[in-house]
Structure 1
Amino acid sequence: MASSHNAASSLIQAIDHIPQGVAVFDAGMHLVASNQRYNSLLALPEDLARAGTPLFDIAIFLGDRGDFGPGDPAGLAIERIKRITGAPNSVTQRVGDSGQSLEFYSSRLPDGGLVISVADVTARVHAEQELERVNQTLEGRVAERTAALTRVNAELETARAKADAANHDKTRFLAAASHDLLQPLNAARLYTSTLIERAKSTGLADLANSIEASLTAVEDIMSALLDISRIDSGALRPNPAPVTARELLRKIEVEFGPMARERNISLRIVPTAATVLADRTLVGRIVQNLVSNAIKYTMPGGKVLVGLRRRGARLRLDVIDTGIGFNRDQHRLLFAEFSRLERGARMAQGLGLGLSIVQRLVAALGLSLEVDSQERRGSRFSLYLPITRPSRTAEETGPVAPETSFTTLDLKVLCVDNERAILEAMDGLLSHWGCDVRGALSLKQIDRERLLEGWYPDLVLMDYHLDQTSGLDAIEWLRHNLGAHLPAALVTADRSAAVRALAEDRGIPVITKPVKPAALRALISGMASQSGRTVKRAG
């Protein structure tokens, strides 16, 4: 108890040094702690600044004092509380008791609590008002304009720092929002994949493929915008580690093989046993963008080659195509945002963000990229990676099973996801592949409905963000009850490096949403082979 009290005291002393006012409330909306700046900006009496004070009591006090304007204080207090607790985040401004402009930022905590920060932005508001007045009367007042601009510049520097902070907040928001955005897209992709397989050789095949192409375009745009936001805000933190070149290239055939075959393009991946020092996720993203572009801008019957060559103390990862190419004068346009060469724009849809992301990632990782191209003859994009000694982890990493021609998996698959639409879509796709599928929204449903009585799954496909626990903990629970060697994979819209690292620490493979059917089928086949299960092939 003493250590907890000391920790709380240390926390309060620490937040007293923050220039903004800060208050934290628990899930019952009772004050946990607040700093002196918060109490002074709101001019709270001492009895309302004590731990345990209800948020409603503070709001009633402010309403009685007139801080919320004219009207019934209780009604105004209730409305104010609804406003700051009704959404995950909110930003509001109002006039304080002393006439100062106060800006409030509220954010709900994962446990249901609330944190509120308040800042005195009077100087900024006055600067904005002054700037507006100066702009309205600018003519004929050069001397006054010079003085005003000097003051404004100082304010703008402060505003710039706040804008940078807001940009980081935006990135955090996008990272959280991306999960909710990708969930319905994932369900749509799964439904469409089932439709495509069932519509083969029918009049609906072209329509199903068109829907799939549109969903792919949406996914590409969302991924590109999220990547640019994370890079520009500095949210990406490279984590280089020894990784085999095979590991970097392991998903290229699975992910882009079907696309290349559909376009009648030869995609060749040259294997190598070398080990490089690289951030597997970020370098993988670079290679994915380069290979995607190579296939998009290569005519049917052309070739795309991906491989590595030793160049001194580095490996040169080449993506070579026989595509449309470009001349030297067009080189600078390649990496500009929303810029596409005229001939390329006619060949493939897109926003022109792929190479812009590549350039940003290369810079963030401190690597170098070399480009060589001849118009109408093809291009070579080369990424240089430092060579290192192989680690045990890198050596033990096996290749992903390539896409196979089987149509019947004959496996019992347990799917757990907190989105019912995704469970239904996954059931449709896996059942079409010959699987016996059972789905659940949570571990409680599995236990309540006794889904595993007399039915032992061959493998588990688990969402990460469940309502009561994480997918990784849910997998541990299943293994504890069904057997430690139960094959399981994480299927998640969370693309953060932290989640991937947690999964890798437990030896659990990860596949990101929206799920690509070819990648999912290859993963399931590989897991079944490793567990000793056989896959029935059609014919």
Structure 2
Amino acid sequence: MQSAPPELASSALDAAPDAMIIIDASGVIRFANRQVSALFGYPHDDIIGRRVEHLMPERFRERHLAHRQSYTHSVRVRPMGIGLDLFGQRADGTEFPVEISLSPIEDGNKVLVAAAIRDVSDRKRAEAELIAARRAADRANQGKSRFLATASHDLRQPLQTLSLLNGNLRRLLVEPEAAQILAQQEMAIGAMSRLLNALLDISKLESGAVKPDPSDFAVNALFEELRLEFASLADNKGLGFKVTPSDVWIYSDRSLVEQILKNLVSNAIKYTRQGWIALRCLCESPSSVRIEVIDTGIGIPADQLHHIYDEFYQVEGSPDSSEGYGLGLSIVQRIVTLLDVKLGVQSEVNKGSVFALSLPAGHGQAVGHVPRKSAERPVRPAPDQAHVLLVEDHAGVREATRMLLRSEGYQVTAVASMAEALAHAAKNPRLDLLVTDYHLQHGETGMQVIEALRRTLHRPLRALLMTGDTSSAVNALPRDPHLRIASKPINAEQLLATLRELQHV
């Protein structure tokens, strides 16, 4: 095969889109195409015969001499400066980022090196803009998360005060007419609480503040928690609640899966007049499991199925339409999309519905989640025997809680900060129970209060942590047998039942 004439080779190199130079073993430039003059701003004749270091910033030249000499002893095709930021320097002294590829050329007994040089200023600028945009988006998301956490806490505090004051009044006023008014007030507070929770859940999901945190967890522990929470609600309506034990494990975000199932079971109870609700788990394949929520409720007409995930939509014929706002399934759909799982529904009018959630299978070696225990022995403490330390920085909630606990016979010391709590414990170490808010002033948390008091008292003080924060940070808090976590607003009966349970731990 004949070699190309020198003129043709030179023309081809001049036509190349990148600047190209050829240097000898001493680093002298022997050839430069037209793109080199355009890129570096030197006349062509001024480039030929100069050392290649002349085309780079002075601070890199001495180091480059050593690299160039190393390359001449082991020549091969490769990019230059892998993992490093490379810069060229124009005739006017300005610098610009470059990428350089090296290729050896044999010329008799001499070895020459061809270098293709590309200006990557536009790409680096785009990368920098992308990084800046990503950082701005991260800051915005963090700001949304902080706002929603604060809004969640601050909006729940007045509801918590109302709920506890209602509980106090129901203990003080025994006239039938007053009791009826307070019962209606309690229902209104409960409705406000459910609506607030639903709206905040939707806001967090839409803002991107919720990030899945998948792990392996046992279905049976989750089922037991759902049974404890919903069995009495079903029983109050005369419905059965069947939970089939399962030894299956799932790999997903436990708290988000729990939120899906809570909404589905709550809906099933709401739309079932008679019969039962069932919860079971089936293996679809070695890599997939299916959790089914089954009811014998009113069913969903076929022409309404595609509307059930719309916000504020309620199936026609609901016997308890005044108790809901049509947001539960909208929240479920958002979480399903976030987790990238599947949710199917089959329904027949007047016969019932089956909601089937398909999830990735997990492995049974993860750390188990300890299910909450139900308060089965509501033994009222004797007056003046149980001493409760209450830590709450919101004055209204603190006073309402203090009044409720005192009306039940507890000795109550109410403080606003961790420092006050520790000072009281130092003087009165015989504390029986601690009730603390999660978010306190000056960045303190209820968990810090619990840990500090336990260290001070040298024992696992039994504690109830109350919080209006529903973020993943709260869901990830460590559980132990002497700790209970309750979401605000918690009504008076739930609060007292939890404290009675803790006394028997």
Same structural fold, with TM-score higher than 0.5 when normalized by the shorter chain: yes
Give yes or no for the alignment of 1:480 onto 2:452. no
Cα offsets for 1:458-492 (capped at 9, x unmatched): 23222122124222222222112112422223211
Question: For residues 309 and 440 of structure 1, do their structure 2 counterparts lie closer, same or farther at Cα, with a shift above 3 Å needed?
Answer: same
Quick one: structure 1 residues 506 and 434, their matched pair in 2 at CA, closer, same or farther if it must change by over 3 Å? closer
2:284 counterpart of 1:311: yes
1:340 aligned onto 2:299: no
The answer to whether the 8 A contact 1:412-1:436 is kept is: yes
C-alpha separation between the residues in 2 aligned to 1:166 and 1:183? 26
Find the counterpart in structure 1 of residue 376 from structure 2: 404
Q: CA deviation at 1:520?
A: 4.1
Greater Cα shift, 510-519 or 191-200: 191-200
The one-letter amino acid paired with 2:398 is L
Q: Secondary structure at the match of 1:393?
A: coil
Evaluate the alpha carbon distance shift between residue 279 and residue 316 of structure 1 in structure 2; reply closer, same or farther with a 3 A threshold: same
Partner of 2:270: 296
User: Judging changes above 3 Å, is the alpha-carbon distance between structure 1 residues 409 and 392 closer, same or farther for their aligned structure 2 residues?
Assistant: farther
In structure 2, relative to structure 1, the CA distance for the partners of 1:310 and 1:529 (3 Å cut) is: farther
Q: 1:163 to 1:402 in 2, by over 3 A?
A: closer
Corresponding residue SS for 1:343? coil
> Quick check: which has more Rg, 1 or 2?
2
- Whole-Å Cα distance in 2 between the matches of residues 445 and 371 of structure 1? 53
1:363 aligns with 2:333: no
Q: Distance in 2 between matches of 1:378 and 1:198?
A: 44
For 2:164, the aligned partner's letter is L
Residue 244 of structure 2 contacts residue 280 of structure 2 at CA under 8 Å; is this kept in 1? Answer: yes
Say if 2:230 is the partner of 1:256: yes
The amino acid across from 1:412 in the alignment is H
Which residue, 221, 224, 247 being the options, matches 1:247?
221
Can you list the C-alpha shifts for 1:239-283, whole angstroms capped at 9, x where unaligned? 011222233234434433443343333333333343222212111
Matches within 5 A, 1:1-150: none
Offset from partner CA, 1:165-199 (integer Å, 9 cap, x none): 97875554233222111111112222324445666
Alpha carbons of structure 1 residues 466 and 325: separation in structure 2 relative to 1, 3 Å: same
Query: Could you say if the C-alpha distance between residues 523 and 360 of structure 1 is closer, same or farther in structure 2, counting changes exceeding 3 Å?
Result: same
- d(CA) in 1 for partners of 2:378, 2:479: 28
Q: Confirm or deny: 8 A CA contact 2:144 2:209 kept in the other structure.
A: no
Cα distance, 1:250–1:204 mapped onto 2, change above 3 Å = farther
Asked whether the equivalents of residues 299 and 349 of structure 2 are also in contact (C-alpha less than 8 Å), the reply is yes
How many Å apart are 1:522 and its aligned residue?
5.6
Change (3 A) 1:460 1:270: farther
Q: Decide which moves more: 285-294 or 454-463.
A: 454-463
Distance 1:517 1:322, change over 3 A: farther
For residue 489 of structure 2, what is the amino acid of its counterpart? P
* C-alpha spacing 1:443/1:163, structure 2 compared with 1 (3 Å): closer
Contact 1:243 1:280 in 2 (8 A): yes
What fraction of aligned residue pairs are identical, expressed as a percent?
35
CA deviation after TM superposition for structure 1 residue 440, in Å: 1.5
What aligned pairs does 1:445-524 form with structure 2 within 5 A after superposition?
445-446=420-421, 450=424, 453-454=427-428, 456-468=430-442, 469-504=444-479, 509-516=484-491, 520-521=495-496, 523-524=498-499
| Contact kept? 2:425, 2:457, Cα under 8 Å | no
Equivalent residue of 1:342, what SS? coil
Match of 2:197 in 1: 223
Structure 2 residue runs of 5 or longer lacking an equivalent are 1-135
- In the alignment, the residues of structure 2 paired with residue 457 and residue 272 of structure 1 have an alpha-carbon distance, to the nearest angstrom, of 40
> Aligned AA for 1:305?
A
Aligned to 1:268: 242
Report the more deviating stretch, 305-314 or 278-287: 305-314
Aligned residues: 367
- Match of residue 151 from structure 2: 177
